[in-house]
Amino acid sequence: MRNAALTLGIIGGIIGMFVGFFTWGYTEFIAWFGEIEDVAEQVDNVAIIRAAALGSPLLAIAGGAMARSNARLGGILLLVSASGMYYAFSFNAFTMFPIAFAGLGGLLALAAVKPDQTA
């Protein structure tokens, strides 16, 4: 289970990086060029979006990398990452995989009460 959490966390973090790049770029684009009525408008809280765009994928990758050595802390980081992405970006077609991967990886890491067994 620890290996699965590691893999899911890193993949979820990498996909989350693409979402983060886009959202950070979108907020910067709107701040630079201005809003277009009913087409492109600035988000309500730019600071939360930017913090989640940087922090959530970082937490997912760190939690996934940590899942083998310290499953409890890795699982907590993965669940915080999934929660941050859900809070900032909501659940949609672009965020469903990073949220699901980080969330499932967090649950698997927390469920790994003992080290993985080899066959």
Token pair 């989640």: residue? 52
Domain borders along the chain are: 2-33+43-111
Q: Is 8 helix (H, G, I), strand (E, B) or coil?
A: helix
What is the chain's mean pLDDT, rounded? 93
pLDDT confidence tier of residue 37, bands split at 50, 70 and 90: confident
The per-residue pLDDT for range 75-95, each reduced to its tens digit, is: 999 999 999 999 999 999 999
pLDDT confidence tier of residue 102, bands split at 50, 70 and 90: very high
Report the alpha-carbon distance of residue 32 to residue 2 in Å, rounded.
Answer: 44
pTM, two decimals, is 0.90
